Structure 1
Amino acid sequence: MNNKLACLVTALLAFWMLVGCSNNSTKDCDNVAGTWQLVVDVDDYECNGLGQRYKQVFEVSQNQCQLSIEGGTTGIISQGKITWTSPSTETDGGTLSYSSAYSEVNNKEITGAYDWQWSNDSFSCSGTVTAKGHILTEQQAANAKLGETAIQLEHPLLSPSENTVAHTFTVEAKNARQVYLAGEMSDWRSKVLVMQPSEADQWSITLYLKPGAWQYKFVIDGVWVADQQNPQSVPDGYGGVNSVFVIGEEDALLIAQPGIAHGSIVEAEFKSDSLNQASPYAVYLPPGYQTSKQDYPVLMLLHGYGQDYKQWIIDGKIQHLMDNMIANKSIEPFIVLMPSAGTSYYKGQHESFIMQELLPHVAEQYKVKAGPDYRAISGISMGGAGAFYLAHKYPKQFGLSLPLSGYFDLEMYPSFSWQNFTLDAELTLFCGEDDSISYPSNQRLVEQLNQQGVEFSYLTAEGGHTWRYWNSISEQVLKQVSSFFAR
C-alpha cells in the first residue's frame, strides 16, 4: 500500500497548497494570487512509506479573502492564516483525508503544513506534509511548467559517516531495466537503494555500512534473487535464502568463544495430536545442566512468519549469547525452548500444540521450575504478536512477556477481545524506530494498552525489522529475563 499511498497523498497536495496573508483584515487581504512553486515533504512513515519530496507548480486564484485552487479546495483567511477545506478521497481501498491545514505568506515566501489520514475497515495510518516555496514573478511564471516533479532523497548510507566502511554490491543482470539492492540496509523495502548499470550487464551500488552482518537480496525487474557470488546465506522463510555479508567482526556475544563452558542445543520432534504430525523444536540447555541437580526457569522464544525454531539459532545466535552471557555472569543459567509454528501466528492448532502438548512434554523431559514466576515468553515479528497473545490468554503459564517488533494484527485471533482485557504478566514492548513493518502496529497497541490502563514498558531505539536490530537488543532482553527469574 505504501508506494501507492505516497503518490495519492501527494496528489492531494494539488488541492491545498497552503497560503496565507500577512494582513488580519477580512476586507483588505494581501494579494497572493498567481503561480506558486513549492517543495513539499511527505511524512508517510506510519503507512510504511519512506518519505517523499516533490516540487509542485500550480495556479492560485483569489477573490477578496477567499482563495481557490483547481479541484474544488477553498481557503478562508483568518488572523493572518488560511484554513483550507477539501473533501475526502476514496483511494487504494480506503479513505484519504486531511486536517489542520494552514499556511502563511510573508514577502511572497510561503510556509505551510497539514495532517492527513488514510483508513479502511481494518487499518488506519496518518502522517504530515510540510511545504516551503514562493510566489513566482511574471517572468518566472511564464517559463514555469505546471505540475509535480519527484525529488530524489539521498539515502544516508550513500555517504560516509562515523564508524562506517565502504562496500560495493555488484550483480550481473542481463537486459534488466531496473535493479535495486534490498535488505537490512533498506528495512527490506524494495525500491530504496537504486543500483547503477555499468559495462557487461553489471549493476552496482556502494554503501557506507557499520560493522557486523548484513542480510540482503537483489531485486531485478521486480524479482528478488540472492547474490549468486556470495556463498554465505540464511533461510528467508519463503523457501529461498538471504545473502549475508559481514563487515569487520560481529559482536563478540554473537560468536562462539573458546575457553568458556558451552551449553547444548537439543533438536527434536514431537508427534502432535493437535497438528496430526510431528513438529520440530529445539531446547537450549545451559552449561552444567547434565550434572546439575537444580531445576531451571524456561524462556520460550517464538520465530517470525514462515520460519521455524532454527531462526533463533541461525539468525539469533541464541546459543552463543547464552553461553557468553552466562560465562561473563551477566545472566544466570536458564533453559530456552524454541518451537516451530510456520505461518500460524501461534493460534489454532499450533497454539494447542505448544500450550497443551509441547510445554507439558518439556516439563516432563527436562529439569524445569514450575509456575509463571519461572517462565517467560518472547519472539520477533509474528513471534512478538504470539508472545503478547499467549501471555494474555495463559496467565498461569507466563509471568513475563517481551514482544520484539511484534506485528500486532489482533483481529486475526478469534478469541481475543479488548472487552474486559487483563494481562497478569509483566509486559515490555520493543520496536525499532525505523521498522516499516511493525512500528505502526506497536504505536496502535501502545495507545490501546494506555486506554485499558495496562501497566507496561515500551522501549524503542534506532533499527528496522531486521536481525541487526534484534541482535542489538538481545543482551538487554536476556538480562531482563534473568532478572525476572531471580526475584
Structure 2
Amino acid sequence: MGRAKQGGTPLTEPGATAGTTCATFIYRGEAREVGISGDMNGWSEQKELLFRLPGMDLFYYCGEYPADSRIEYNLVIDGTAGLDPFNPRVSLFNRKSNSEVPMPGYRPPPEVEPAPVAARGTVEEIAIVSKQPGMSRTATVYLPVGYAGSAERYPVLYLNDAFGALKFGSMINVLDNLIRRRVVPPLIAVLLPSVGDRMVEYSMNPRFESFVVEAVVPAVDRRYRTRPSPEFRAVGGISAGATAALSLAINHPDLFGKCMAQSTATKLAPLIKLARSGPKAPIRVYLDVGRFESDYHGKDLVEASHRIRDALVAHGCPVHLREVNEGHGWRNWRARMGEALEFLFASLSAMERGE
C-alpha cells in the first residue's frame, strides 16, 4: 500500500501486451464485495469484482487498457457506487462525480486552460422568444476578441447543452485558445440550454427543431454581425445533443452546412434511417466516439457512429470520424473540440490566413 498512499490508485505499469498499461485498482476496508463500474465495462451492473486477499481487508483488480486511454469509474462497495477513496483524481459528468485514471500515454488538452487575458473573448446572454409555449429561453453567446471594435461578420457555432459545455467542457477557454492559435477563425458561439427534459427535447423533436430554425437563428442573425449562410453556420452537440444536432443539420442543410456530433447516443435507429435518406444538400460532418462506448449502457455507439458516417458519405457529405480510447464524458468531448472545429472550419481558417 506504500505506492498507493504516495501517488494514489490505480497503480500503473506497462502491460503484457504492446501498447497497453496494466492498472491495479485497490480498496482497503471492511466489505463483503467490491467491484468496478465504469467506462471499461459500459457502466454495467455486471461489474468486474476485486479479488480479496485471504484473511485481509485488502481487495485488488488488475485490468489491461490502451496506454493512451483515460478511464472514468466508480467503486461499488456492497452494492453502493461511489468515488475511489484512494484516487485523488475526480472528473465531473453533469451532476455526478467519477474517479478518473489517465494512463501514462494520455495527453490532456492544453486548450482547456485559461488563455492570456488579451486573447479572451466576451460572454453575454440573449433572450430567445418563441411563439411555441414553453420553448423560450436564455442562451449564452461567446463573442471573439476584437468583435466590439470591428465591422467584420463572423461564422456561428450553435451548441446544445450550454450548462455542461460551460461548466464541465471549459468551452470559453477552448474557444479563446483555438482562435488565439488560429486553429479556427474568429467565430461567434451560441450555447443553447435545454428546457425541461433534455432527453425529450434532444431526441429528434420537431418542436425543438422548429424553435431553433424559426426563433434562435433569426434572433442571433438580427442581433449579431453573423455571416448568415449555411457554409458559415455549424450546429453541434454531445450524446443526446449530438442526435439533435445531426437531425437539425440533415433536415435543414439550407441553414446548417456543418455539424459536430460527439458520442451520438439516442434515437440511433431513426437517426441512421434519417442519415440514409440524406440531406437535400451536402453537409460537412465531424463525428467522434470513444472506443469504450462500444457498450455504453448496452448500446454500441461506435457501430452507430460508423453507420451514420457511411450513410452520409453515400450522399456526398465530407465526414471525419475519430475514435479515441476514452468513454462517455465531458473530458473526452472537450479534448476533441479543437480537432472538430478545425475540420469544420478549415477552409475558413485558410482563407483568413490568405492561403
How many residue pairs are counted as aligned between the two chains? 322
Q: Displacement of 1:485 after TM fit? A: 3.5
Q: Which residue of 2 aligns with 1:391?
A: 249
- The alignment status of 1:364 with 2:222, answered yes or no, reads yes
Q: Displacement of 1:479 after TM fit? A: 1.2
Counterpart CA distance in 2 for 1:211 and 1:460 is 15
- The alignment status of 1:215 with 2:81, answered yes or no, reads no
- The alignment status of 1:160 with 2:18, answered yes or no, reads no
Q: Where do 1:249-288 residues align within 5 Å?
A: 250-258=108-116, 260-266=118-124, 270=128, 272-274=130-132, 276=134, 279-288=137-146
Q: Displacement of 1:262 after TM fit? A: 1.2
Q: Which residue of 1 aligns with 2:6?
A: none
Q: Which residue of 2 aligns with 1:224?
A: 81
Q: Displacement of 1:375 after TM fit? A: 0.2
Secondary structure of the structure 1 residue equivalent to 2:293: coil
Q: Which residue of 2 aligns with 1:182?
A: 38
* Superposed CA RMSD: 3.9
**Which residue of the other structure, out of 327, 345, 356, is the alignment partner of 2:180?**
327
Q: Which residue of 1 aligns with 2:305?
A: 442
Q: Which residue of 1 aligns with 2:97?
A: 241
Q: Displacement of 1:171 after TM fit? A: 5.1
Q: Verify the 8 A CA contact 2:37 2:43 in the aligned structure 1.
A: no
Q: Verify the 8 A CA contact 1:190 1:219 in the aligned structure 2.
A: no
Q: Verify the 8 A CA contact 1:182 1:193 in the aligned structure 2.
A: no
After superposition, the Cα gap between the structure-2 partners of 1:365 and 1:171, relative to the gap in structure 1 and judged at 3 Å, is: farther
Q: Displacement of 1:405 after TM fit? A: 2.9
Q: Which residue of 1 aligns with 2:263?
A: 405
Counterpart CA distance in 1 for 2:136 and 2:261 is 27
Which amino acid letter does the alignment assign opposite residue 286 of structure 1? P
Q: Displacement of 1:290 after TM fit? A: 2.7
Q: Displacement of 1:311 after TM fit? A: 1.9
Q: Which residue of 2 aligns with 1:194?
A: 49
Which amino acid letter does the alignment assign opposite residue 183 of structure 2? S
After superposition, the Cα gap between the structure-2 partners of 1:230 and 1:433, relative to the gap in structure 1 and judged at 3 Å, is: closer
Q: Which residue of 2 aligns with 1:456?
A: 318
Q: Displacement of 1:312 after TM fit? A: 1.8
Ranges in structure 2 where 5+ consecutive residues have no aligned partner: 1-10, 295-299
Counterpart CA distance in 1 for 2:230 and 2:261 is 17
Counterpart CA distance in 1 for 2:68 and 2:125 is 31
Q: Verify the 8 A CA contact 2:265 2:301 in the aligned structure 1.
A: yes
Q: Which residue of 1 aligns with 2:236?
A: 378
Q: Verify the 8 A CA contact 2:34 2:59 in the aligned structure 1.
A: no
Q: Displacement of 1:407 after TM fit? A: 3.1
Structure showing the higher strand proportion among its residues: 1
Counterpart CA distance in 1 for 2:339 and 2:48 is 31
Deviation digits for residues 391-449 of structure 1 (CA, Å, limit 9, x no counterpart): 11112211112322323635557x95855763432234333444313112123334444
Counterpart CA distance in 1 for 2:127 and 2:63 is 42
Counterpart CA distance in 2 for 1:163 and 1:255 is 29
Which amino acid letter does the alignment assign opposite residue 329 of structure 1? R
Structure showing the higher helix proportion among its residues: 2
TM-score by length of 2: 0.72
Counterpart CA distance in 1 for 2:171 and 2:307 is 30
Q: Which residue of 2 aligns with 1:312?
A: 165
Deviation digits for residues 427-475 of structure 1 (CA, Å, limit 9, x no counterpart): 343334443131121233344446x544333424333443454344322
Counterpart CA distance in 2 for 1:231 and 1:291 is 45
Q: Verify the 8 A CA contact 1:215 1:245 in the aligned structure 2.
A: yes
After superposition, the Cα gap between the structure-2 partners of 1:420 and 1:330, relative to the gap in structure 1 and judged at 3 Å, is: closer
Which amino acid letter does the alignment assign opposite residue 241 of structure 1? S
Secondary structure of the structure 2 residue equivalent to 1:435: helix
Which amino acid letter does the alignment assign opposite residue 160 of structure 1? P
Q: Displacement of 1:297 after TM fit? A: 0.7
Counterpart CA distance in 2 for 1:270 and 1:337 is 11
Counterpart CA distance in 2 for 1:186 and 1:269 is 42
Q: Verify the 8 A CA contact 2:275 2:312 in the aligned structure 1.
A: no
Secondary structure of the structure 1 residue equivalent to 2:183: coil
Counterpart CA distance in 2 for 1:257 and 1:203 is 43
Which amino acid letter does the alignment assign opposite residue 74 of structure 2? K
Structure of greater relative contact order (alpha carbons < 8 Å, 6+ residues apart)? 2
Q: Verify the 8 A CA contact 1:159 1:208 in the aligned structure 2.
A: no
Q: Which residue of 2 aligns with 1:63?
A: none
Which amino acid letter does the alignment assign opposite residue 171 of structure 2? I
Q: Verify the 8 A CA contact 2:111 2:174 in the aligned structure 1.
A: yes
Q: Which shifted more, 273-282 or 374-383?
A: 273-282
Q: Verify the 8 A CA contact 1:227 1:243 in the aligned structure 2.
A: yes
Greater C-alpha Rg: 1
Q: Verify the 8 A CA contact 2:114 2:173 in the aligned structure 1.
A: yes
